[in-house]
Structure formats: structure tokens, C-alpha cells
Chains A and B, each alone.
Chain A
């Protein structure tokens, strides 16, 4: 009798335990793609303001018009300040160029340089979809937000690793730590001020960054406008760089 009771008890436990379906594991790649689409439409144009704050409190501001197409093409035209007006940058995959109206010919630049000084580098300004450049190594679901560990797909990507905190509710990034392969922190991006940009795009309007390599410096990228827009692929070519102003609206 005792054996039967024990068997029934164990069976009941097994049934109850088995009935509890294990929590479905988050598909990291799908979540990362969701983050990308929450941050911007696949193709868009936008106005962005970059503010560099120096340790003494002095600020430098840049206004740029940006247009992106698909997953790997983005171009930007500087509108302010006067010293940078007309300067344009282009990124096609890992290729980057800068055109300075005075100097003339577009020259190749690297993702780690910064055309604006401060903490943002060229890869931050001409950013592509995260899922274009990174694979999801793991997803930690234990905290209030999802924590995505991202690994660069190639050695040409500006940061070897990213740690990205994403809200559970709406898949928006909260904070991203940019790290070297040896886990040295290069910079941290903080996303804030969620705003409705129209067309169903609700995302953080401000990305602030600080870096242990630039102690006391702070840079912010403020999204002024962003609209879904598809432009001809010829816009994203070296030959078109001097004419970027002609597609601005």
C-alpha cells in the first residue's frame, strides 16, 4: 500500500512538473532585429544634432542630415556649424568616406575616427542596424531588462563586443556598453527621452555617451526628425557625395 501511495505521489509530481511548460527561451537574433526596427525604419531620412560637452561645461554642436537605405548604407551631410557645413560622410558596409568641400575629393576614413571630435566616433554617427554587424551570443533574462551579449561578426566592426540592455515591454535599448575583445569598456551609450516621431516610430530621442577614455567629456546625439523614406541607391555612392544636399527635404 505504501509503495502504491508513493508511486501515485511520484506520478502526480511528475505529471504536475511535466504539465508546467518550460518558459520559452528568447530568440536573441529576433529580439535584436526587433530592437533595430524600433530604433529606425529600414530606410529613412533624419535630422540629428550632436552635442559635445567638455569638462569645463563648454559645448560644441553639430546638425546633420542623414539618409539610410537598407541594412548597410548610410550618408550624412553636415549643416552646422559653419566650419563643417557641406561636409558629408558615406558608409557602405565597412567602407567609409568623408567629403570636405574645400579639399575636394572624398577620402576614405575609418570607423574608429571621429569627424566631430568628442566621444562619438564615425561608427556611432553612421551606425548601421545592430543585427547587421553583431551576432547575439547570449540573452540574460534574469534582470528587469533583457541583457543581450553581442559579438561582432567581423574584425572590421568598431567594437568587438556590446552589452545591450533592452526593455521587456517594448524592446527599446536602455543602455549599451561597448567593449574590446579583452572586455575593456570603451564607452557607454544611454538611451533616453522616448518620443513619438510619427508613422508609428516611438523611440528614444536622445543617446548620451560617456567614456573612461574621455574622462569628463560627454556627447549626446539628439534625434530631431526621422521619417521612413526610400531614396535611389545611387545616392550612396562616392560620386554622389558632393550632391547630397540636393536630396534634402
Chain B
């Protein structure tokens, strides 16, 4: 009987020990393949409530067809591929965009990046091909990003199409207040089929960036010359004032800037003169892990309130002229002014951007609640962008985003084509 009890006790002890032992963590082998391929597939169904009376809508539909609610479906396949061997590497990023609007399908494939890299040492990299340069410190506005396309305000993290360049990075490090220094010279040809949309053709543009980590502050000095665009210089900086507070800024000077503007006589003319743009912002992390971002943008190439009113007047007169006499000339001029800058993302002088995000919100890991606002400080109009993002699995991301325009007639956001846009994005990483 004793032996039976002892055996039972031993069995119980072993079972308890086995139960309390944690299951071993399985560690798969590390992938060391020289090839890499990835990317994502995303679908973005959206409902857009149009403002039929806005200047943008009336310019697109001068006949005044009723535009109310529109359902659209956008999709994107982004593929990133790379190959590395010793100090040589090749990288490519391709994007296929597909859209369905009013029953019509459109699709477009674009090579965002495709370049070769040679790295004989970590201190020296030479790149040739199409790539993004990624200059500037602002969150959504980067006037110092001379060579990049502007970011999408409602999704600044979206990949951008690059430019075809020959560039190099030379890095040195030091002990002392100056910890790192790097020089990035860039050659950007606007000839043949290279960089057709960059500016005036027939020029090989020269740009460069000098970066320093000095007294724990990131400082960049940048310049562009060559003729395709007016020459310009810029300085930007970024620094952590506290472990939870970062400040950043950009300053850009274009000594001989050019702006297409509507003059007092109602003609579209080119105005020349020095232009100065400034971005200043902060990023703050609260004790509750909430991130606050605020950026101010002084757009040196922006229009004044009076100039913007003159543009809206031109649209009105053009529509009236078309309706009464059938004359399209003023409307065509308004279209040209829209293309020249009045219809751009930030056509006026002063903007403020604010963003609040709360990761792991409501006690749910990987649930992010956020809201952004872009306000035109000149006319008081703006857009409000609430969003909910959830990482459902490691590679599946869901995002709900709304865009609500605010502003009266003859204000920038009040005259946008859409009053309200609600979008759902489903993105699966490959």
C-alpha cells in the first residue's frame, strides 16, 4: 500500500512538474537568402459625397451635371524586390494601381524605384537609377525635399515615386560634439525620357545635402541648381528636447522663384521674386502613450487671400461666360490657373497641421485611434481626418478613414470637390 502511495505521489509530482514547465519557444532558422521580395496588396472602397456647387466640381463639370454621392474602389499591388551580393545590390519597387469609378475600370503600373547600389565600404555608397531622396524633417510638408514628389496629406507614409539620379553617400564619424557627417551629391538629368515631369528639359541638375549630427541635433544643409527648376537652398534640423519631446524645422530659400498668378487684369502671369518657406513642428509623447504632432507651414510660393479670391472670381466669370455666350476662354484660363498652382495641395500661405494618435487604444493591442486636421490659417477652412486602424494579424491591416471638409464659399477647403469621404482600407502584406 505504501509503495502504491509513493508511486502515485511520484506520478503526481512528475505531472505537476510537466504541467508547470513552459512549452519551449520554437525558433525557425534565420533567412539569409540574397534575394528578397515583399510588398502588399490593398483594397480601398470609398464613398465620396460631392459638393456640386464648389469651384472644383463646377470646373470639372461646367455643364452643371448633378454630382452627389459617388462610390469608388481603389486597389494597389506594391512589390518590393532586392538582391544583394557583397558590396553590390539592386532594388526595385513597382506599383499597380487599379480604380473603378462610375462603372469604369482604370489601371496603371509605375516603377516607383529601380536602382543599383555599390557599397565598397559602409562609409561610401553610390546609387544609380530611380529612387526617392527623402529630404526634409516635416511630417507632411517638406519644402526641403527638392527632388521628391509631395506627400499625400491623408497618408504621408505612402510610398512616393522616385526620380532618376546618380547619387552617392559619403559618411564620416567623429568623437565629440560632432558625431557624424555625411555628404550626398546628386546628379539629376532632365533629358530624353529621364525625369520628364521634373521641370524644364535639357538640363543636368546638381543637388546636394550635407548632414551633421551635432550636439545631438540632426542638421541638414541642401542645395539645388541646374536650370530645370529655380535654384534653391535649404536648412533643416531635428532634436529631442526631452525623451518624449522632439522639435523639427525646415527653412527653404528660392532667390529667383517663379509663381503663376492671376493679375489685376485677370490674366495669368508669371511673378518672379525671392520665396521663403518655413516648416516648424513638434512631436510629443504623453505618459499615456498618446502621440501629438503639430506642424506649421509657411508656404513661400503660396497665394494671398486676395489672389485666391481672384481665382474663384475667374471660375465664376468663366462659368457665367460659358452659360450666357458659350465663350470657353475664361474657363480655359481658370483651368490653366488650377494646373499652375491654384488647384495644388497647399495653394495658400499659412497652414497648420495637427495629429493625435493613440496606439493600443481602449486596452486593445494593435488598435490605433487617430485624428488629424489641416487648417488653412489664411481663410479658416480645413479638413478633419478621423481614423481607426487595427492590425488584425501580423500581416493584415485594417484602416477606416474619413475626410471631412470645413469652410464656406471662396475658401480653399470649402471649394474642394468632395465634402465628405469615407474610406475603408484593407492591406495584406506579402
Chain A residues close to B by CB (< 8 Å): 47, 49, 51-52, 54, 60-61, 63, 65, 79, 81-83, 85-86, 92-96, 100-105, 108, 110-114, 117-118, 155-158, 206, 217, 220, 222, 224-225, 231-240, 243, 245-249
A52 touches B365 (CB 8 A): yes
Q: Does B27 contact A (CB under 8 A)?
A: yes
| Among candidates A54, A112, A225, A236, residue contacting B243 with C-beta atoms closer than 8 Å | A112
The answer to whether A225 and B30 touch (CB under 8 A), given A158-B243, A232-B123, is: yes
Q: Which residues of B lie under 8 Å from residue A231 when comparing CB positions?
A: 122
Residues of chain A lying within 8 A (CB to CB) of residue B216:
93-95
The A-contacting residues of B in range 207-246, CB under 8 angstroms, are 211, 213, 216, 218, 238-240, 242-246
Indicate the member of A104, A157, A224 with the most B CB atoms within 10 Å.
A104
Residue of A with least CB distance to B248: A108
Chain B residues with CB under 8 Å of chain A are 25, 27, 30-32, 36, 38, 40, 80, 82, 84, 87, 89, 117, 119, 121-123, 125, 132, 134-137, 148, 156-160, 169, 171-173, 179-180, 182, 184, 211, 213, 216, 218, 238-240, 242-246, 248, 283, 285, 289, 291, 359-360, 365-366, 391, 394-395, 397, 429-430
Min CB distance A231 to B, Å, is 7
Given A83-B397, A83-B429, A102-B159, A117 and B359 contact (CB-CB distance below 8 Å): yes
Q: Which residues of B contact A220 (CB under 8 A)?
A: 25
Q: Is the CB of A155 within 8 A of B243?
A: yes
Q: Are A94 and B285 in contact (CB under 8 A)?
A: no
Supposing A83-B397, A118-B365, A231-B122 touch, asked if A104 and B160 sit within 8 A by C-beta, the answer is yes
Of B36, B157, B243, B430, most A-chain CB atoms within 10 Å: B243
Contact indicator A232/B122 (Cβ below 8 Å):
yes
Cα of A19 to Cα of B60 in the assembled complex, Å: 100
| Residue contact A95 to B213, C-beta cutoff 8 Å | yes
The residue of chain A having its C-beta at the shortest distance from the C-beta of B142 within the complex is A105
Closest to A213 in B: B289
Q: Which residues of B contact A243 (CB under 8 A)?
A: 117, 119, 122, 125
* Contacting residues, chain B, for A65 (C-beta < 8 A): 30
CB of B123 within 8 A of CB of A82, answer: no
Instruction: Point out the residue from B36, B84, B243 that lies within 8 Å of A110, measured CB to CB.
Output: B243
Closest partner residue, chain B, to A52 (CB atom): B365
Q: Which residues of B contact A104 (CB under 8 A)?
A: 132, 134, 148, 159-160
